[in-house]
Amino acid sequence: MKVLILGGGITGVTIAKKMGEGTILEKEKAGGFLRSYKLNGFTFDTGGHLFHFKKKENRILFERLMGENSLKLRRKSFVYIMGKMVPYPFQANFYPLSQRVKMECLRDFLNVAHGEKKRAKNFREWLLGTFGEAMCRYFFFPYNRKFWGIDLEKITSEWAKWAIPKPSVEEVIRGARGNTVEGLGYNPSFYYPENGGAYSFFKKYSEGVEIIEGVEINIIETDEKKVNTNKGRFQYDVLFSTIPLVEFTKLIREKDDVIKLASALLIANSVTVFNIGFEGKIPECHWIYFPEEKFPFFRLGFYSNFSEKMAPEGFHSLYLEFSGSERKEAELTEALDMLNSEGIIKGKMVLYQKIFIPHAYPIPTREAELIKDGLSSFFKKRQVYIAGRSGSWEYLSTEASMESGTRAVESFKA
Ligand SMILES: Cc1cc2nc3c(=O)[nH]c(=O)nc-3n(C[C@H](O)[C@H](O)[C@H](O)COP(=O)(O)OP(=O)(O)OC[C@H]3O[C@@H](n4cnc5c(N)ncnc54)[C@H](O)[C@@H]3O)c2cc1C
């Protein structure tokens, strides 16, 4: 049986491993979002990539593959707001803010916590009904508008339940009194390779899997079960796709209505990651969120605080992320000036690398759900399976992408 897999990221590799066979066609270099880059002694990832696992077997797998090259870290991250560093998550730790803001946040949170529960129709309603008006006004609305780049009414809320920590009433009160609440959310502690960045896990994980790199797909003939590429024509019995769903549907020759609609209705935010070699002083934390509009970026992170091996001695390795259109060097320089004048970092950039990710976070909308339902019956009839974050157009972590690859194989075998 000929098994063909599109996309050589962690999901494509998981599928090949679970199938026990298969050829992967990869457009660039294997690794997908887990690619890391070495530049003049600095190591960078594709934005901060930490490994957190819900399933014990995945954690054990990571530990076994990484051996000595594994660090276990306790998350130390902040939200920079009103000139203060609020420990993450904001909703449980807003004590550094003024008395007035704290009281407003607490009052509105208690109102919704004790009020009548209504079913949220969208992400905006979910935020308001979960955290109350003041926390939304100060933090959740500006941050999420900047991050997603669309009206929050257009976004669904189911995903938010795993992604956004919801503290209990006791935790919010404890946090408001000044006792930092730790351990909330999906990544209170995480693993990170000591050497080589996130790619070093991918490298070990993908050993023995056949990946053809540098493949340009011209057209996919789902009726004939053929994929035409710059490296020849590949015939298959079963096709798994982990490439962005929006691109995959454009490559399919058969133009069913749902296929035509997919490219218009599947939307994602784009992210520009600037990886920065830095000389000077950086804060002792892993990353900082920036909700306020005056900061055009949404997150600043410190690879060399994950592992000091990520930068040459005496230097640091940073990442700064912008959502929306592709950014230019001038915007990076301006952003670093702002961060220096706020006193968050002190020093200068010695080099940088830019990575533009057109489909960084697939946006969960009702239209996307409808399209995916329509596509699933189209695919089922044609022995096509989709999986992974970009492939199935879902906001998934690395582990969740691996699990999605496993599920695709299970549904093929069922
Ligand atoms: C900025 C950012 C930060 C993240 N941080 C974390 C984190 O800290 N922790 C965490 O658990 N998860 C994180 N994630 C999510 C994690 O990276 C993904 O869930 C996971 O890597 C997805 O793997 P994948 O194989 O499904 O997709 P991808 O990694 O996107 O792989 C798809 C592959 O398909 C290839 N491809 C694309 N088009 C074509 C084509 N036409 N033909 C052939 N190949 C093609 C791509 O080059 C790529 O290699 C982050 C994601 C982003 C974007």
Kindly report, residue by residue over 175-234, the tens digit of the pLDDT.
888 877 777 776 788 999 999 999 999 999 999 999 999 999 999 999 999 999 999 999
Whose CA is closest to atom 28 on ligand 1? 32
Q: Give the long-range contacts of residues 209-213, CB within 8 A, separation 24 or more.
A: 209/13, 209/16, 209/17, 209/24, 210/16, 210/22, 210/23, 210/24, 211/8, 211/12, 211/13, 211/24, 211/26, 211/30, 212/23, 212/24, 212/25, 212/26, 213/8, 213/26, 213/28, 213/29, 213/30
Q: Is the CB of 45 under 6 A from ligand 1?
A: no
Q: What is the pTM of this model?
A: 0.95
- Angle formed at CA 185 by CA 181 and CA 186, multiple of 5 degrees: 145
Mean pLDDT by 10 residues, the chain (414 residues): 97 98 97 98 97 95 97 96 96 94 96 90 96 98 97 95 88 86 79 97 97 98 97 97 97 91 93 98 98 98 98 98 97 98 98 98 95 93 96 96 98 94
Whose CA is closest to atom 22 on ligand 1? 389
Give yes or no for a contact between 12 and 23, defined as CB atoms under 8 angstroms apart: no
The second-level CATH assignment, the architecture, of 3-28+213-266+364-413 is: 3-Layer(bba) Sandwich (3.50)
Task: Among 29, 297, 361, 398, say which to mutate for ligand 1: greatest number of ligand atoms within 8 Å of CB.
Answer: 398
What's at 126, amino acid-wise?
W
Nearest to 271 by CA among 232, 227, 301: 301
Ligand 1 atom closest to Cα of residue 50: 8
Taking the C-alpha atoms of residue 235 and residue 40, their distance in angstroms, rounded to an integer, is 42
Give yes or no for a contact between 58 and 66, defined as CB atoms under 8 angstroms apart: no
Give yes or no for a contact between 269 and 363, defined as CB atoms under 8 angstroms apart: yes
* pLDDT recorded at residue 163: 85
Give yes or no for a contact between 238 and 4, defined as CB atoms under 8 angstroms apart: yes
- CATH 3.90.660.20 applies to domain 32-75+187-197+268-362: yes
* pLDDT recorded at residue 117: 84
* pLDDT recorded at residue 40: 97
* pLDDT recorded at residue 179: 79
Give yes or no for a contact between 344 and 324, defined as CB atoms under 8 angstroms apart: no
- Return residue ranges of the chain for CATH 3.90.660.20: 32-75+187-197+268-362
Whose CA is closest to atom 38 on ligand 1? 243
SS3 at position 69: coil
* pLDDT recorded at residue 256: 86
* pLDDT recorded at residue 13: 98
Whose CA is closest to atom 8 on ligand 1? 49
Ligand 1 atom closest to Cα of residue 25: 43
The residue written with tokens 């257009």 in the block is: 154
Q: Is the CB of 323 under 6 A from ligand 1?
A: no
Ligand 1 atom closest to Cα of residue 404: 26
Ligand 1 atom closest to Cα of residue 47: 1
Report the mean per-residue pLDDT for the chain.
95
* pLDDT recorded at residue 255: 85
Whose CA is closest to atom 37 on ligand 1? 243
* pLDDT recorded at residue 362: 96
* pLDDT recorded at residue 188: 82
Q: Is the CB of 206 under 6 A from ligand 1?
A: no
Whose CA is closest to atom 40 on ligand 1? 27
Tell me the DSSP string of 143-189. Answer: HHHHHH-S-GGGS-STTHHHHS----HHHHHHHHTT----S-SS-SE
Q: Is the CB of 262 under 6 A from ligand 1?
A: no
- Return residue ranges of the chain for CATH 3.50.50.60: 3-28+213-266+364-413
